[in-house]
Amino acid sequence: MSSDAKTHAFARNTGVPLAPDWFEKVAVNTPAAVRRSESLAGRRSLKKEWQAAWLVNAIRCMDLTTLAGDDTPDRVARLCAKARRPLADHILTGLGLDSARTGAVCVYPTMVAPAVRALAGSGIPVASVATGFPSGLMPLKLRLAEIRYAVDEGASEIDIVISRALALRGEWSALYDEIAAMREASGGAHMKAILATGELRTLRTVYKASMVAMQAGADFIKTSTGKEGVNATLPVSLVMARALRDYGAKTGFKIGFKPAGGMKTAKDALAWQVLMMEELGRDWLRPNLFRLGASSMLGDIERQLEHFVTGRYASSSRHALA
């Protein structure tokens, strides 16, 4: 466990019995959610050293990810090297930092072992997608077996995908049972429940699915696989943050949040951190409660930090990920 996680440790979510009355009658005002999301950018003006500090924090909270069909152990090893040293030496020196690192590296189950080897001694956890990612359209027995395989390979975080059809049909008991079984299969590994919000159609369904996932024991709720037509958006993230807040008020548990998919720029990294700060507070600006699922975003953050340090923008080829 990192020193940051030790300093800000909190009780892990144990889940609660399914309680439909917590979410069945909840209404979501979609236009209001959109307006609130659009207003966030103007609520905090982050310039110069303040912007740089928030961008460095985004790196600390980033799940550096490769989920490509042509992933290899060598590619994963290069990505892990970037996770260990996400910023060039001259940028670190200019920022007055001795080191920096990402929050985790996220890979497919078969790439977990190479990632664990490449990150040995770094303290950076390995997250693995599982349960038939990205669609989740596999028999439950096989989805649970995939979780156990990834954990056996050394994954300390598991990103599961929910059955969207169950959420769309409002079969909350069946969805709860599946997620609870996945949490049990994850054992000591923290479980992030991917809702694939772009396929849930309404913000009200997003809220309900968020609440069911937390009741079933999810340690994090996550917006997207990155493979849907619509991935992380600020209105969806706002609704999920409100669900986190409501669940915490009822149970006392702090649940993490991970937006993923479609976020490519330093500006995106700032926007989602502002959302966390405004809606949930400072605790959700730390990697034990907040992760950014990203790959190309890191390159733009490094480019912006180089400009802060040197006054010049470097070409994107100077900041290749792997």
Q: Catalytic amino acids? A: 159, 222, 258
How large is the angle between the packed helices 140-153 and 172-186, nearest 10 degrees? 30
* SS3 state at 132: coil
The length of the chain is 322
> Which residues are bridge partners to 128 per DSSP?
107, 158
**CA distances (Å), 117 to each of 64, 73, 80, 156, 293, in order?**
16, 10, 9, 13, 22
**Tokens encoding 265:** 């720029």
Secondary structure (3-state) at 244: helix
- Concatenating the DSSP letter of every residue in 28-61 gives --HHHHHHHHHHGGGT----HHHHHHHHHHHHHT
Give start and end residues of each alpha helix (H) in the chain: 3-7, 30-39, 48-60, 73-84, 89-95, 112-118, 140-153, 164-168, 172-186, 203-215, 234-251, 266-279, 297-310
